[in-house]
């Protein structure tokens, strides 16, 4: 057997044994789900599917927000409507306060990731919606790339489920 044939056979043997993978596949296999979500995400959309099957976007098209996953297991989450009224705090009307409360959700705490279930559990320590305080909020990851995170909240506080999209913040 000549040298060229021996090298070709060795390369085939390595490929068949699974020891050699294309660079992209190897990198994807080595990066855990937790490692993929770490960083800052910008709010894209949240579509609520009600119990009757109807769908609604509870946030306006220009809503903004951030979801930050820190490597130490802490997170921060917020979404704000773009049409929150501007007012002086001491001179606000009840309607302005109501619009503000209904136009903001923010909470923070710790999180864990289940690689097997593709879930993230937020353990809420503090929230603008006090009913979340001390609760666990489960999110099922439906898709993740370097630039986009999609997950489902299977049990919302107002019934139904919400499918959310976040873009990697630049």
Instruction: Output the pTM of the full model.
Output: 0.78
- 48: β partners: 56, 162
Query: Which pLDDT tens digit goes with each residue over 44-101?
Result: 999 999 889 999 888 999 999 999 999 999 999 999 999 998 988 888 999 998 888 8
Q: Is the dihedral of CA 168, 29, 162, 133 positive or negative?
A: negative
With a pLDDT cut of 70, the percent of the chain lying above it is 83
pLDDT greater than 80 at residue 20: no
Distance of CA 44 to the CA centre of its chain: 10
The ranges assigned to domains in the chain are 1-30, 33-168
Specify whether domain 33-168 bears CATH 3.40.50.720.
no
Query: Which pLDDT tens digit goes with each residue over 99-137?
Result: 888 899 999 999 999 999 999 999 999 999 999 999 999
Q: Helix count (H) and strand count (E) of the chain?
A: 4, 9
């Amino acid at each position: 057997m000549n040298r060229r044939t021996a090298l070709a056979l060795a390369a085939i043997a390595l490929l068949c044994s699974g020891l050699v993978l294309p660079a992209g596949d190897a990198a994807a296999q080595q990066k855990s789900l937790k490692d993929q979500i770490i960083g800052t995400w910008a709010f894209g959309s949240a579509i609520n599917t009600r119990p009757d099957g109807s769908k609604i976007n509870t946030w306006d098209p220009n809503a903004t927000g951030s979801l930050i996953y820190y490597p130490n297991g802490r997170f921060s989450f917020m979404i704000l409507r773009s049409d929150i009224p501007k007012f002086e705090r001491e001179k606000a009307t009840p309607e302005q306060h109501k619009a503000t409360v209904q136009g903001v959700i923010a909470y923070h705490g710790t999180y864990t990731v289940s690689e097997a279930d593709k879930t993230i559990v937020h353990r809420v320590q503090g929230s603008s919606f006090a009913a979340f305080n001390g609760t666990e909020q489960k999110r099922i990851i439906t898709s993740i790339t370097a630039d986009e995170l999609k997950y489902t909240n299977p049990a919302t506080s107002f019934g139904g489920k919400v499918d959310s999209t976040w873009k990697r913040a630049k």
